């Protein structure tokens, strides 16, 4: 009786795992066929079900679909799509507890990061939309531990007359670069390191 019950439970577990794998394979195939809006709708629908909410791969394919949609110049809400792509990627990272999935998609995360920097800097430099630029940069800080994004987020706060928050972020950048130097002894600093040090020094002198 005990063996029969164990076998029955094992069959249920295997069936469930197989069904879940087929579900993800279906999503992958839709994406690889270039049907990005369909993939977005599929992943969004699946993520409404409680059983799927812990699956990082669904968030990742949702993110990749949104990113592809954001690359379409004819799409009216491409900037909005990029922002949601970042949010979905961060959700995938959060759900990827064992860090097995995200490293496999490093090239995608890198493309997302580079594209976001370009869009955010355009909003910062050309449009003067500091709050919007900051929202992009903050997503990158969470997703990639991006110190350049953290520095720019701080600059956005300063220009939005939120000096305390802004210089707190810039201080973290200075500290992170100092720790990196102590660990690696690399003498070639990032292009934003000296401006970050200068900004922080100017602020401290002003407050002295």
Render each residue's pLDDT in the chain as its tens digit; 208 residues.
445 544 444 433 443 444 455 678 899 999 999 999 999 999 999 999 998 999 999 999 999 999 999 988 776 576 789 999 999 999 999 999 888 888 899 999 999 999 999 999 999 999 999 999 999 999 999 999 999 999 999 999 999 999 999 999 999 998 888 787 788 777 665 667 777 877 877 777 777 5
Q: Which of 140, 138, 155 is nearest to 195 (CA)?
A: 155
What is the CB neighbour count within 10 angstroms for residue 16? 11
Cβ burial, residue 198 (10 Å; 0-12/13-18/19+): exposed
| DSSP assignment string, 119-167 | HHHHIIIII--HHHHHHHHHHHHHHH--HHHHHHHHHHHHHTT-HHHHH
Looking at the whole model, is its pTM more than 0.85?
A: no
């Amino acid at each position: 009786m005990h063996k029969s019950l164990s076998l029955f439970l094992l069959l249920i577990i295997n069936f469930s795992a197989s069904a879940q794998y087929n579900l993800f394979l279906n999503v992958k195939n839709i994406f690889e066929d270039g049907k990005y809006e369909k993939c977005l709708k599929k992943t969004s629908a699946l993520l409404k079900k409680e059983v799927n909410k812990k699956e990082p791969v669904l968030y990742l394919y949702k993110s990749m679909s949104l990113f592809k949609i954001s690359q379409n110049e004819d799409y009216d809400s491409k900037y909005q799509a990029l922002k949601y792509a970042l949010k979905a990627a961060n959700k995938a990272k959060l759900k990827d507890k064992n860090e097995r999935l995200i490293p496999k998609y490093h090239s995608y995360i890198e493309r997302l990061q580079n594209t976001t920097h370009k869009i955010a800097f355009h909003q910062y430099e050309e449009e003067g939309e500091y709050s919007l630029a900051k929202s992009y940069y903050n997503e990158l800080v969470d997703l990639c531990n991006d110190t350049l994004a953290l520095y720019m987020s701080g600059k956005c706060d300063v220009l939005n007359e939120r000096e305390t928050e802004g210089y707190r972020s810039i201080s973290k950048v200075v500290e992170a670069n100092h720790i990196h130097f102590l660990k690696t002894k690399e003498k070639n600093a990032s292009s934003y390191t000296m401006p970050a040090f200068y900004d922080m020094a100017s602020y401290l002198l002003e407050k002295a």
